[in-house]
Amino acid sequence: MNVHPALLPKFSGKGMYGRSVHQAVFDAGETITGATVHLVDGEYDHGRVIARKSVEITPVDTVETIERNVMQAECALFVETVSHIAAEDLSLPL
């Protein structure tokens, strides 16, 4: 499993990690971003998506605030996803 700081398949691929993702989201004028938990396969940021959490981008947001808000969503989403797997609400592999 991997958590990606965007709503896959948008803003994915080689070089799309950390602040570079958030800068690309900001530059594209997106109003929604978020986090995605997906199963890892042989391609960058590819594999079956098993969970997503959206994060709204407001007109006053900066790259830094987007990064902070998405990081909070990533952490919460990862814990929620692992909890669902542990409770057998979500079975892997999908």
Contact yes or no for 73/38 (Cβ under 8 A): no
38 catalytic, yes or no? no
Token pair for residue 54? Answer: 């959206």
Question: Of the residues 4, 22, 38, 84, which is catalytic?
Answer: 4
Contact yes or no for 35/52 (Cβ under 8 A): yes
By C-alpha distance, which of 15, 87, 67, 24 is closest to 45? 15
- The set of catalytic residues is 4
